[in-house]
Amino acid sequence: MPGKTGGDKTVYHVDDPYNDLSEEALLSFWSEEPTKHEGLRQTAPYVRSTLEIPTKETLETGEYDAPSLQRGEVLHVRAIPNRHDDSGSVYLNVTSFVIREPDTLISKSKLRTGDRCPREYYLRYVKRAYPGDKYNSEPYQQSNKFRGDAIHKITEKALVDHEERFYQETWDQDTIDEYCEDVFESEFGFKQALLVLSGAGLDGREHVKSAVGQLFTDSEFLDRIQATTDIETERFLTSEFGYAGRVDIILDGVPYDIKTTRNPGEDLVETHSKQVKLYLFGSS
C-alpha cells in the first residue's frame, strides 16, 4: 500500500501483548524510502528479503504465493513508532531487525552450522540424525578442546579472583604458570586423566601457559582492564532476543570473546566478528 509519508510499504495488523494501546497497531515494512517524514526510513532490504515481505509489484503480478509472517507469530522488532494523524493508528515502522519466535533459542553453533551447511543443520538439529563433531574422539581434537576450555577458565577465574594483579601489572610467567597449575588441578583433573588415557597426553598444558602468559602481559589487554570500572565474566545473554549463549568477558558493557585458534584465516575472523556483534546486541 502507498504510505501516507511517501513511498510504498507492506502493513500487518498486530496485537498489543501488554494492552497499552486503545488504537489499532500496525507493523510497517517500507520497500521505498519515506519522503514526507524525516523520522522514518526504509526497512533494511535483508529484513524484507529474509522474511519474504511482498511488495506492491509482487502482489499486483500474482508472483507472491503466501505470506511469510503468519497469524499468531510472536515478533521482536526494531522499529520507529509514529501515530497516524487521521485515524490515530499506531504504526511500528520496522528498520533493521526482526526476531521471529524469540522463545525458541538458537546458539552460536546452530547459527554457524546453518551458515556453513543448511543440510547439516537440518540433519543435526531438525531430524537429529547426525551428531556433527559432538563425539569426536581423536586425540588431537580432545587436546584442542582442553586447551580452549583451560584458557577460557583460567582467564575468567583470574579476572574474578585476582583482578588487582591486572591493575598492578604483577603477573609474570612464573606466577602465571603457578596459577595455571592450580586451575588444572581444581578444574580439569578428570579431563586430564582422559587425555592421558586417550593417548593425547598433557603437552597442551604448556601451550595453555604460554597463551595465558601472552594475554596477561599484553599491554593492550592490560590497558583495557585498567580503564574499566565494571568487569563481568561468563554472563548469559538476554534470552528475549532468541539467542542462547554467554559472553566470556564484559568490560563496562562491551563484550570480549576469547579465541584460541592459531593463525585464523580471514573467513574465520569474519565469523568471529559476527559472533561478537551478536554478543554486543544480546548483552545490551
Distance CA 74, CA 76 (A): 7
* Whether the predicted pLDDT of 268 surpasses 90: no
Confidence (pLDDT) at 79: 92
**pTM for the full model?**
0.69
Which of the 8 DSSP states describes residue 113? H
pLDDT value at residue 2: 44
Q: What is the mean pLDDT of residues 108-123?
A: 83
**Contact criterion met (CB below 8 Å) for 231 and 276:** no
Q: Where are the domains of the chain?
A: 9-100, 104-135+228-284, 137-219
Mean pLDDT, the chain, integer? 84
DSSP string across 120-147: HHIIIIIS----TTTT---HHHHHHHHH
How confident is the model at residue 136, as a pLDDT? 57
pLDDT at position 138 over 90: no
Distance CA 25, CA 194 (A): 59
pLDDT in tens, 49-65: 888 888 777 766 766 66
Confidence of residue 3 (pLDDT cuts 50, 70, 90): very low
C-alpha span between 207 and 91 (Å, rounded): 56
Residue 218: predicted pLDDT: 95
pLDDT of residue 24: 87
Q: In what helix (H) or strand (E) does residue 183 lie, and over which residues does it extend?
A: helix 173-187
Helix axes 139-161, 204-216, angle to 10 degrees: 30
pLDDT at 152 > cutoff 90: yes
Arithmetic mean of pLDDT, 130-156: 80
Say if residue 192's pLDDT is above 90: yes
Kindly state the average pLDDT of the residues 3-22: 75
What pLDDT does 64 receive?
66
CA angle 92, 97, 98 (to 5 degrees): 75
Task: Report strand pairing: 243-244 vs 106-107.
Answer: parallel
- Residue 156's alpha-carbon distances to 79, 168, 265, in angstroms, are 36, 18, 26
Q: Are 225 and 166 in contact (CB under 8 A)?
A: yes
Predicted confidence at residue 67, as pLDDT, reads 62
More confident call, 244 vs 6: 244
Q: State yes or no: pLDDT of 73 exceeds 70.
A: yes
**Nearest-angstrom CA–CA distance, 55 and 42:** 13
Please give the average per-residue pLDDT across 210-228, as a whole number: 95
Percent of the chain clearing pLDDT 90 (strictly above): 32
Q: What are phi and psi of 142, to 5 degrees?
A: -65, -40
Can you give the C-alpha Rg of the chain in angstroms?
Answer: 25
Share of the chain above pLDDT 70, in %: 90
Segment 238-266 mean pLDDT: 81
The predicted pLDDT at position 257 comes to 84
Residue 261's SS3 state is coil
pLDDT of residue 71 exceeding 60: yes
pLDDT at 20: 78
